[in-house]
Structure 1
Amino acid sequence: MKNTIKNSKKGILMVIMFTTMLSFANNASLFNIKNEAKRTSLTLLNVKQGNLLSVKDVNGIVLYKESMQKSGNYTKGFDLTALPDGSYVFELDKDMEINTIPFTVKSNIVLFDKEKETTIYKPMFVVKDNVVMLTKLALKEAPCHIKIYFLGDHGEELMHAETVENTKTITKAYKLAGLKYGGYKIVCNSDGREFTKAINI
């Protein structure tokens, strides 16, 4: 029980620090877009090596994908006018968040809507002494559906399910001691995304 309390305190401290960092980040733009007749220049600020940039259509189909080769600022030109008329999104998948930049193409004209830019915060999982701490920012109070599965010889067995909502900061601790020994999978569905964490005890 003491370990659970200690982990809870650590998780709350991580969320507080993470929220403070985000408050500074939200005051500065993470990217710049220069839209010309035939070329859109995208500049992403402070990317890290391994961050993933992609262009997706309205159905989530990936049309372009690139992994950042170095940390720092990233600039690249795209000819988006070649795309069929429709809605698209630039998506930057980072360590702790996913930034989306939506745009539309109509009659070879590319339009960006700054009001529809979004940031989805990924859940953080910390495992220690058979206790799993899950923390997630949900600044728009989007519900988070959490399921824990035991991975046995006969497939997945649901051990726990719950929905957390009406909160900007989700902090949950799950004690796996006393349950079956083996592999577990925690699934967190929120903001139209699914995040998973594999655990062995």
Structure 2
Amino acid sequence: MKKMLRLSIVAAVLFSGISTYAIDGTEDSTLHVIKREGTTVTFGLNNTTKANLSIYDNEGNLIYSEKASGKNGILKTFSFEEFPSGTYFLEVEDSVKTTKHEITINGDITVLSSKAISSVYKTGFSGKNTNVAAR
């Protein structure tokens, strides 16, 4: 009986650890910061095979733009060593939506927020495989 109790406790701990492991905790977020070293940031875009990446300054001026693609997702590394300290924005546009992420540069430290500060879904997006409850 004690062996069975120990086994069930170990199983419960194992399953609770697996179920709480999530990158961000939300399925909607696709950008994940993988590595940050000084002014260099590496991030991944899960579930995205094609996207337009743009970097804007705090006044909305376009600084950088590129079309990125990947077979199972997109992995990008940006170096911000030439950027002056301040706040910038990374805009990721895919076939479904446009999300904006904040980039903060303070001297030799660059931080890219993995949580989007805004998400705008495209009007042509058909919400296939979504459930809506109506009363």
Q: TM-score range by the shorter chain?
A: 0.5 to 0.7
Q: Provide the secondary structure at the position in 2 that maps to 1:99.
A: strand
**Deviation of residue 48 (structure 1)?**
2.7
Structure 1, unpaired ranges of 5+: 1-25, 126-134, 137-201
2:94: which partner in 1?
A: 94
1:115/1:42 CA distance change after superposition, 3 Å: closer
2:120: which partner in 1?
A: 120
Q: Which amino acid aligns with 2:101?
A: I
**Deviation of residue 92 (structure 1)?**
0.8
Deviations 1:86-140 (A, max 9, x none): 1111111112210111111122221234555321112228xxxxxxxxx99xxxx
Between the aligned partners of 1:73 and 1:52, the Cα distance in structure 2 is 13
Higher relative contact order (CA 8 A, sep 6+): 2
Cα RMSD for the two superposed structures: 2.8
Structure 2, unpaired ranges of 5+: 1-25, 128-135
Output the TM-score relative to the length of structure 2. Answer: 0.62
**Deviation of residue 28 (structure 1)?**
5.3
Q: Which runs of 4+ in 1 moved over 6 A?
A: none
Q: Which amino acid aligns with 2:80?
A: L
Is the Cα contact below 8 Å between 1:47 and 1:68 reproduced in 2?
no
Output the TM-score relative to the length of structure 1. Answer: 0.44
What is the percent sequence identity of the aligned residues?
22
Q: Which amino acid aligns with 1:65?
A: S
2:62: which partner in 1?
A: 62
State how many pairs are aligned. 103
Q: Which amino acid aligns with 2:75?
A: T
Deviations 1:136-190 (A, max 9, x none): 9xxxxxxxxxxxxxxxxxxxxxxxxxxxxxxxxxxxxxxxxxxxxxxxxxxxxxx
Q: Which structure dedicates a bigger proportion of its chain to strand?
A: 1
